[in-house]
Amino acid sequence: MPLPLTTLCTVHSLLAAVLLVSSCTHDPENIQALNPRYRTLTTKLLAREPDSHLESAVLEHVLWRIAGDVDREYERVAALPWSFQVVYATWWLEAEVNNGGFKQYFSNSKGRFANEALKGFEILGARQHAGLVRQAIWIHQARMPILDSARLKGTTAAFSHTYSDDPFAPIDRQFLELKTDLSSLRVAFIRKYYQDFVHR
């Protein structure tokens, strides 16, 4: 696994739970699930936040920008400074692939951030991850006619047929075998470019 199990349990699982509660419905009350400290990111907050909370601070700040308008998640994130896109896109791709592979990633809304994730891994210096993401994007694009046909048919059987094989399996294995600690790379990136994360 690219990340230690403890990191996955404490950071990924906890944040994913917050994301599910706060951003999967249009109920404005779900905003209460987010940490109000991260609604605004200041120089002082970023300087004082320990490394163990820094990713969560940035990711939850993005969620504050999305909350109440989940249908426009991509547009909302794309409107944020480039630094936020690097963290958000790479974190989500890693979490989805760790959980269910690239097939899962491309089957849900986070797959829209694949190109941003690719650029993000390159910026972070995670070249092996970037190479695998590039391959996964190519496979996904090659399968688009099959997926479009299933959508047009609109049946469960047609959709299920698109999952009869998994062309991403070899890439999933390679991705999961990489030893790079992406969380540490993201934290170092936030520290280096902290001024680009000061945001209201």
Spelled out in words, what is the top-level CATH class assigned to the domain 5-197?
mainly alpha
What is the phi/psi pair of residue 199, to 5°? -155, 145
pLDDT at 32: 67
Residue with tokens 């400290």: 37
The Cα 97–Cα 103 span in angstroms is 8
CA-wise closest residue to 46 among 164, 195, 200: 195
Question: What are the b/e assignments for 143-157, b being 16+ CB within 10 Å?
Answer: beeeeeebeeeeeee
What's the whole-model pTM score? 0.81
User: Coil, strand or helix: which one is 152?
Assistant: helix
**What pLDDT is recorded for position 173?**
97
Looking at residue 165, its pLDDT comes to 75
pLDDT mean for each 10 residues of the chain (200 residues): 38 44 37 86 96 96 89 94 97 96 91 97 98 96 74 62 77 97 98 95
